[in-house]
Structure formats: C-alpha cells, structure tokens
Amino acid sequence: MEFPQMTRRQVQQWLDLVGDPEIAAVREEEAVCAEQDEIDRIVAALDDELAVEQRAVDAEVPKVSRPTRRQRHATRRAEREVVRALPVRVNGVSEIAMDEEAA
C-alpha cells in the first residue's frame, strides 16, 4: 500500500491538529459520552429484566403458611407455660389489692 507524499508543511499542520488540546478535549468528551450511553443501555436492560421478574413474582399464587408440627408443639408449650404462671400472678395481684383495701 502506497501513501501519498506529504510536504513538510502538511505534516506540520497534521501534527498541530493531533496535538491540539481542544481537539483532544472533544475526543475525550466523545469517549465519555459513549461510555455513558453504554452504561445507560445496560441499566435500561437491567430495569427491563427486573420488571419482568417482578411481574412473574406478582403473578404467582401466594402459598398458604401452615405451621409445622414443631411450631404447633412449641406454641402449645408456650401457651401452657403462660396458663400455669397466670394463677400465681393473679393471686399475687389480688393479695396486693386486698392489702391496699385493708389499709
């Protein structure tokens, strides 16, 4: 491949353009804009995927939560403990109430 001959003046003009800070700033700004556009495309694609997943989750039938056997037993034990402790507390409160009435 042959390149056309350039005069010294043409070479100097070309080098001046390549080294020009304004042109370099424009190129840098174009690169930043291209990068931002790519980021925006990725974010938009991610938003679309999340919206599709959310619609799928919303369309699912909610499962009814049924307590397991262990949970039922633990609940019953806790209720029994409360019931056993209740008369003691009621007696304690009634004794305090009687003491106040007597005073």
pLDDT, residue 39, reads: 95
Its pTM stands at: 0.40
pLDDT, residue 18, reads: 75
- Per-residue pLDDT for 1 more than 90? no
What would the pLDDT profile of 18-62 be if each residue is shown by its tens digit? 777 887 788 889 999 999 999 999 999 999 999 999 888 887 766
The residue to which tokens 């999340």 are assigned: 50
Contacts of 14 (CB under 8 A, 6+ apart): 6
- Per-residue pLDDT for 90 more than 70? no
Indicate the Cα dihedral angle 46, 50, 53, 54, nearest 10°.
-170
**Amino acid at site 57:** V
Percent over 70 (pLDDT), the chain: 77
Q: How far is CA 96 from CA 64, 82, 86, 91, 99, in A?
A: 46, 21, 15, 9, 5
Q: Which residue has the higher pLDDT, 39 or 6?
A: 39
- Per-residue pLDDT for 93 more than 60? no
